[in-house]
Structure 1
């Protein structure tokens, strides 16, 4: 942590229009101060540091040249938007980033008119920019007006098919718009795929750099009548040597690559294209993630996501670990299974570190596949691996698996292919907020015929569920687990496949049964301890499976208790809905069973700490206790809720 930096130039800027009063030299000083301000702020809040540091000069240049918010500036994903927030009237709140009731870590329409389009997931910016360009030309939003549309998209996000779908459409419509390709050779993990290699060829070749310099020098020495022809020859030479051929074939005028940290290049180029562009234009900008802060530049992930840290040393403040993370437990369990079965392979979509598959890749590089930010492709690729006799574990965050849902239905479920979906970040995830909340997968997977859907109550159960998924060879399966540390239970030496569709009774009680699906089980047990002091001993059960349901156990719980409560870390329409359907089909409600289902509220829960988000969702032990007392008609403990 450190004191705030000295920022005399930045102190003169309240909104982007103030940048137009500064000289180019003053803008360069402003960029230096802006970088220091972002480092200082993120040292206090934690967050996505490296991406923002890489676009400091680009942010200054874009706001200095274009007329935001009339010109719509759209940041893909939003990881890099902190400098933008500082310059757009939110500097006084920048040290509330990702905190409860503070600024979002991403762009957010409700937060500022300078955020014309919200983000959180990647590869949407070009589609959004094209939408704004078309709305402008059709006369949309006349009360505000729409000027230019500018999308800033990273090279990692260009690995997603949606970016090309948008470019293909934009090239066809020929609307004036700008795409800034922020090429830093780094998304969250090192880039993968042919696009990365293509971009590297655009600027890495030494012959091209020499030819470009020679051409530039030759043009300056020619008399005026010959300069125009020489310029055309230079462009032809550039195109023949490497060129932006792919983008030009898609209908974009291509300019670049240029140094994204050099305002002497950025400012005149942006001013020129703003004045002269008539159709879609792509500007290829080279930047360095973590630029200007050594600890970020040298970090493996270039400072992608950090906790609070010391500005001088870069050392992050992290709470001492008490138990291994669920992600690490999954990774180790999968490695154990892969050691015993050479058909097991793993697929992820640009998240090898986040999902623990970096460990798998180190041990079994030929059986681990990072497909880039391409969840749709990743799911279908996994389906064909399964059809080809392999045992793929398609490993994605819950919120990212949403992007491949059509493929889950069409390519996996309909064909009954045994793809194993390992779903990380299930439930609420804290500071990343609603765009990253993993709360829909239970509902959207459990409604698919032939799927097995599991949720681990603790880290030991997760080990067994990895083994269970590995053993299922005739239909698809999924198991989900949250972010963060486990609860500290003893881990088994090896995973043992569970009996499909069978839950377990944790403890016997009377009057009310609580049926938990997932890691709220620990909160249920806390609630039961408090209830015991009031003379109420609930039966506690762990469902393990949302599909197929343990019909026998559920009907026994219903028959032996006057009330049944389900709880899950998911949205309406998930596990509790399937239990209610079973009870209705069996006529259980006809004999007076009291049934309640505890799910996340039907709203998007804003970013805060995970504990605060679960409290807001009324999913903690005091809330469970209150629900039990309410259903039994004993008391209302709402005043005691955390």
Structure 2
């Protein structure tokens, strides 16, 4: 399918070109930009509904502000596709999220217009405030704007940033992109009227004049300005309840306004640009705007994959034989199965009920399966609180998001030895979402914490067994279960659950001279590699360790006594990870062996498909087979000459 830009859009190579358009042309440009996003994403994939909802806002921001000199910070970045297209990346936009192509998120190394790299939510206000403070210090007339969604606004970090912003005189604008529910549902003429008054140059000039005049009175500048400020806050508070929260934080509140009225947005932003100090603009948008199906089912169309833009059919792979389920779905069905038998089980997730599949339990047991919003720290500590009362809590958090709650894991769970079960979804490389979402570090940062059990299943059956073990009364430690994004290996996955002795691995195959020790799903890559190298006369042993903490020391003693060459395989960072733990054991017990560690290298891994990234990082089946052949090259040489 040939994708063409509209008449106006094809002439936009940068925001400078955008500014050449008359205000009356912006509506057509927005229609063309929205259609281009639909065309590209339907054919090439990516996030969808979020960017459609901010087409007008994106256009207005680049039309009014002098980007990149003025700093524009997007929250998360799902909504930044229009931003990328308008800032010189239109011709390459089809490579979005593809190996070697554009990132799916704003990225500083990709463009000067991407002022801050984002992937996790709720960072925009802090970043923009820092930029505004630096501009003031350097004496620059540089504007800073943070665009944050109402979902991202649920995180504590956003409120920490607003709390700080309110006591500064930094020139920062916070745009609350509200695409769900208004802070105050009473949106109508009165609110529009308030916005017209508070954003008009005349109103703000009058207020500034009043402040200046009061400052000349003999009673003292501080007193009179304080009175003027209280007067304004009181009037706005009586008229607009939604302003109270932000005004209480010393942020001048404007809105809400229609986020799809491009003329109104341009006029409002032009006025706000001339109002100094910290302020917040409340914009109402519709996620998926302009594509009816996405407007109707925003969750489904957040990142639908490839689809027919005319019929709305989302293309699914068809298979002749049953396929393995996603690990997340195994978790979702298994926790419900366990909860039906154990009435003390709770499920907690920070804003990812569909992504983690906890929604399966939420639909059946809403009192015991809870979405706490984008609040990873709170998710961990509320789980700890439940555990103090005898509840068995499965706290399901994406691996990279768990990084945000590390102190709570240590302080609130591990020190108190509370038996919270941390199910770390998307552990390892995650594919197209790239470095902000790769779950590369959890093995290393979890195994150094006392009192924690850290485990990884090789397949769906093992995931079920680990979950079953973790909720038993005799399991009194915090328990980490990490598993990857995507499908497992067992079409017939619903096996009977069995308890596993904590800290024990499995010997899958005995071998000679060389053994592969694997942790988690990459064990399947190792098994394939071991089968591949048999043709070269290599009889490699294979051990699924299951636990990186505690290690199966009895099994490791057996391995080091039997094999002189060892390969460890993991989908975590090789620095401080599973392989490092094996080396520590070897050193502590004075064993001598040739050891190769395969896993995620000590560098930032960019985006691509899982297969592409596993190959790049050197721990897919082919890479493991190559290392086996390299370490057993004498055996291979003999085999090839026979």
* TM-score, with length taken from structure 1: 0.90
For residues 66-92 of structure 1, the C-alpha deviation after alignment (integer angstroms, 9 at most, x for no partner) is 000000111000000000011000000
Which residue matches 2:622? 622
Task: Please list the CA deviations of residues 94-121 of structure 1 after superposition, one character each: whole Å capped at 9, or x if unmatched.
Answer: 1111011111100000100000111001
Tell me, what secondary structure is at the counterpart of 2:352?
Answer: coil
Residue 490 of structure 1 deviates from its aligned partner by: 3.5
What's the offset of the Cα at 1:293? 0.6
- What is the DSSP-based 3-state SS (H/G/I as helix, E as strand, rest coil) of the residue aligned with 1:465? helix
Residue in structure 2 matched with residue 575 of structure 1 by the alignment:
578
- Listed as ranges, the matches of 1:459-538 within 5 Å are 459-471=460-472, 473-488=475-490, 490-538=492-540
Query: Quick check: 1:377 aligned with 2:378?
Result: yes
Q: 1:290 to 1:635 in 2, by over 3 A?
A: farther
SS in 2 for 1:266: helix
Partner of 2:391: 390
SS at match of 2:370: strand
The match for 1:176 is: 171
Q: 2:148 aligns with which of 147, 153, 167?
A: 153
Q: Which moved more, 1:47-56 or 1:16-25?
A: 16-25
Q: Secondary structure at the match of 1:162?
A: helix
Secondary structure in 2 matching 1:172 = coil
Paired residues for 1:66-465 under 5 Å: 66-139=65-138, 147-185=142-180, 199-201=182-184, 204-205=185-186, 209=188, 211-212=190-191, 236=235, 239-275=238-274, 277-301=275-299, 303-320=301-318, 322-465=323-466
Equivalent positions of 1:41-80 (< 5 A) are 41-80=40-79
- Paired residues of 1:50 and 1:302 also in contact (CA < 8 A): no
Decide which moves more: 550-559 or 487-496. Answer: 487-496
List gaps (5 residues or longer) in structure 2. 211-230, 638-642
Q: Please report how far the alpha carbon of residue 251 of structure 1 lies from its aligned counterpart in structure 2 after TM superposition.
A: 1.4
In 2, Cα distance between the equivalents of 1:315 and 1:635? 53
Deviations along 1:211-263, one digit per CA (max 9) or x if unpaired, are: 457889999xxxx9xx999xx99993674342411111111110000000001
Aligned residue for 1:305, secondary structure, equals coil
Cα deviations across residues 396-453 of structure 1 (Å, max 9, x unaligned)? 1101111101100111111100000011111111110111101111111111111111
The corresponding residue for 2:224 is none
Residue by residue, what CA displacement relative to the aligned partner does 1:480-527 show, whole Å, maximum 9, x if unpaired? 111111112543543111011110110111110111101111111111
Partner of 2:610: 610
- For 1:554, the equivalent position in structure 2 comes to 556
CA distance in 2, matches of 1:151, 1:461: 44
Q: CA deviation at 1:635?
A: 8.4
Separation in 2, partners of 1:455, 1:218: 59
Indicate the residue corresponding to 1:594 in structure 2. Answer: 594
Shift of 1:154: 0.3
Q: Which runs of structure 1 show a deviation greater than 6 angstroms over 4 or more consecutive aligned residues?
A: 213-219, 232-235
Aligned to 1:491, the other structure's residue is in SS state coil
Q: Give the direction of change, closer, same or farther, for the CA distance of 1:305–1:258 in structure 2 (3 Å limit).
A: same
Classify 1:165/1:237 alpha carbon distance in 2 versus 1 (closer, same or farther; 3 Å).
closer
Q: CA 1:526–1:473 in structure 2 vs 1: closer, same or farther (change >3 Å)?
A: closer
Deviation at 1:270, TM superposition (A): 0.6
Looking at structure 2, the residues matched to 328 and 438 of structure 1 have their Cα atoms a distance apart, in angstroms, of 18
What is the aligned partner in structure 2 of residue 192 from structure 1?
A: none
**Deviations 1:594-641, CA, capped at 9 Å, x for gaps:** 12221211111111111000000001112112222333353899xxxx
Question: Structure 1 stretch 456-465 or stretch 471-480: which is displaced more?
Answer: 471-480
CA distance 1:217–1:628, change in 2 (3 Å)? closer
Contact between 2:538 and 2:636, CA under 8 Å: does it hold in 1? no
SS at match of 1:499: coil
* Distance in 1, Cα, partners of 2:233 & 2:508: 75
Q: What is the CA–CA distance in structure 1 between the aligned matches of 2:317 and 2:81, rounded to whole Å?
A: 25
Summarize deviations over 1:147-173 as a string: whole Å, max 9, x none. Answer: 101000000000100001111111112
Give 3-state SS (helix, strand or coil) of 2:289's partner: coil
Q: Distance in 2 between matches of 1:530 and 1:597?
A: 20
Q: State how many pairs are aligned.
A: 604
8 A contact 1:252–1:282 mirrored in 2:
yes
Classify 1:286/1:532 alpha carbon distance in 2 versus 1 (closer, same or farther; 3 Å). same
Compared CA separation, residues 582 and 295, structure 1 to 2 (3 A)? same
Shift of 1:181: 0.4
1:402 and 1:614 map into 2 onto residues whose CA distance is 22
Q: 1:394 to 1:403 in 2, by over 3 A?
A: same
Change (3 A) 1:75 1:213: closer
The answer to whether the 8 A contact 1:5-1:36 is kept is: no
The SS at the match of 1:173 is coil
The Cα RMSD (Å) is 2.3
Which has the larger displacement, 301-310 or 355-364? 301-310
Q: CA deviation at 1:560?
A: 0.6
Q: CA–CA distance in 1 between the matches of 2:427 and 2:112?
A: 32
